[in-house]
Amino acid sequence: MKLARHGTGPEIFESLQGEGLSMGVPSVFVRLSLCNLHCTWCDTAYTWNWTNTQYRHVNDTPDAPRKYRREEEIIELDCESVAELILKFRARNLIFTGGEPLLQGRELARLAAHLLRLDPACRFEVETNGTLRPPPALDAHIAQYNVSPKLSNSGNSPTEREKPDAIAFFARCERAWFKFVVANAADLEEVRTLQNRYDIPQSRILLMPEGTSPDELREKSRWLAPLCLQHGYRFGDRLHVHLYGSKRGV
């Protein structure tokens, strides 16, 4: 399984769920590498975008040509080792995120099954961009999907960000909650269009302001909160950003 690197180890950390329906629940986050989208405002671009990365050199002989490996940004571990790291923490609400975790759906299915054998109290959430259907073997273990389909404000093209088969799956799934990232008031029209096109129940939609600092969130919340009230959408904040700013691994 390919995981984001944080310092010398993979990015597996304990924190309060900062977003969505279960905001505030003590959780363990497992951050996977790679993404099939490239949102301009992605707060974890280090999981997939290495264009400006100072690659680690793999050959430290002074005279040899220097070779840099972007793979060094990824840690690859088997599911038994990942499970062991996860269960060192206290929380049993486990959140698979990334990057786009459903790119590694089969590996996650094996991980979830293994974790449940070790501790049946484990509960699983998946953070996903809603472009990929989870394999049935993974779906069988997931209590909650936090689906964040991307709007045009993300900079992805319509064909990249909207995969009808996947979004229709989540629209029908009562365990899926939709979390749209809103950057401008006009984004609400796009939300409404997607909602109608895929028949997404309004009760499973949250609107979350775009932002990676408390100031940005507060500024956008000032107009987004009244719009939520006016249009009957649930407002979703970003608790971890208010608590820790844009710090990694919290």
Ligand X SMILES: Nc1nc2[nH]cc(C(=O)O)c2c(=O)[nH]1
Please report, in range form, the residues annotated as the binding site: 16-18, 31, 35, 39, 41-44, 97, 99, 148-150
Taking CB under 6 A as the binding criterion, the range among 15-23, 82-90, 170-178, 213-221 that sits at the site for ligand X is: 15-23
Secondary structure E strands in 34-103: 56-57, 68-69, 74-76, 93-97
Pick between residue 127 and residue 162 the one whose CB is nearest to ligand SAM.
127
Please name which of 127, 43, 121 lies closest in space to residue 89, comparing C-alpha atoms.
121
- Contacts to ligand SAM from residues 2-41, by CB under 6 A: 35, 41
**Neighbour tally for 70: CB within 10 Å:** 11
105 binds ligand SAM (CB under 6 A): no
Binding residues for S-adenosyl-L-methionine: 41-43, 99, 148-150
Window of 42-50, 78-86, 155-163, 188-196 that interacts with ligand SAM by CB under 6 A = 42-50
Long-range contacts: 45-49, Cβ < 8 Å, 24+? 46/4, 46/73, 46/248, 47/4, 47/98, 47/99, 48/98, 48/99, 48/100
Site for ligand X in 103-162 (CB under 6 A): 127
Residue number of the CB atom closest to ligand X: 18
Determine the Cα–Cα distance for residues 71 and 101; give it in Å rounded to an integer.
18
Question: Residue 179's binding partner, choosing from ligand SAM, ligand X, ligand SF4, none, with beta-carbon cut-off 5 to 8 A by kind?
Answer: ligand SAM
Q: How far is CA 245 from CA 100, 119, 211, 220, in A?
A: 22, 33, 10, 16
69 vs 114: CA distance, rounded Å: 31
Nearest Cα neighbor of 207 from 217, 196, 197 is 217
Instruction: Choose which of 12, 15, 105, 153 interacts with ligand X (CB under 6 A).
Output: 15
Q: Note whether 148 binds ligand SAM by CB under 6 A.
A: yes
Q: Rule CB under 6 A: is residue 2 a binding residue for ligand X?
A: no
Cβ closer to ligand X: 57 or 212? 212
Return the one option of ligand X, ligand SAM, ligand SF4, none that residue 79 interacts with (CB less than 5 to 8 A, by type).
none
42 contributes a contact to ligand SAM by CB under 6 A = yes
CB-wise, 11 or 127, nearer to ligand SAM?
Answer: 127
Which residues are CB-neighbours of 37 under 8 A, at least 6 positions away? 100, 129, 131, 150, 154, 156, 160, 161
Q: Which residues bind ligand SAM (CB under 6 A)?
A: 35, 41-44, 97-98, 100, 127-129, 148, 179, 181, 208, 210-212
